[in-house]
Amino acid sequence: MDSFEWNLISEIHKTALHHLYEFAGELRQVNMSKGGFTFPTAKFLPDIIQEFETEFLGDLPKHVEGYEELIQYVAPIHAELLFIHPFREGNGRTARLFVDLIAAKFDFEKFSFGKITEKKMSEYIKAVQSAAEKNYQPMIELFRMLEK
């Protein structure tokens, strides 16, 4: 797979969740918040996604030299995608599948997201919230522990 773009993310969501949600694969049309944190406003999602695609998916490297370089590339994508929260449900599952596909593209095993235990979940949530300020270091730190 050479093309990692928004249409693939939407297709992952639709394929993985169509049996659960009739809106699978479609951008959310409602504003959402979780745990006191408000996600980007629904009416701005098309523009936000276009920016995301340009900034994060436009320059897919030809290869990566090791796990550290891989996470420097995918952790910001993961954090930003979760921060954008483009779907009503299933954002986490979709983001995990998407970055696993990128890892596979570079011949790495999928990430061990099971290592994000309940104890680490608050760090994970803070890492997603840090994406609001374009600070991806917390997510990069978490991804360092996800290697198989």
Burial of 19-50, coded b for 16+ CB within 10 Å and e otherwise, reads eeeebbbebbeeebeeeeeebbebeebeebbe
Q: Which one-letter amino acid corresponds to residue 65?
A: E
pTM: predicted TM-score of the whole model, two decimal places = 0.93
Query: What pLDDT is stored for residue 148 in this prediction?
Result: 72
- First-residue to last-residue Cα distance in the chain: 22
Residue 91 in 3-state DSSP? helix
Average pLDDT, the chain: 94
Q: Which domains does the chain have, with CATH numbers?
A: 6-144 (1.10.3290.10)
Residue 49 in 3-state DSSP? helix
Instruction: Give residues with Cβ within 8 angstroms of 102, minimum separation 6.
Output: 4, 60, 70, 73, 74, 77
- Cα 28 to Cα 139: distance, rounded to the nearest angstrom: 24
pLDDT at 50 over 90: yes
Quickly state the pLDDT bin for 1 (edges 50, 70, 90). Answer: low
Q: What is the mean pLDDT of residues 17-30?
A: 96
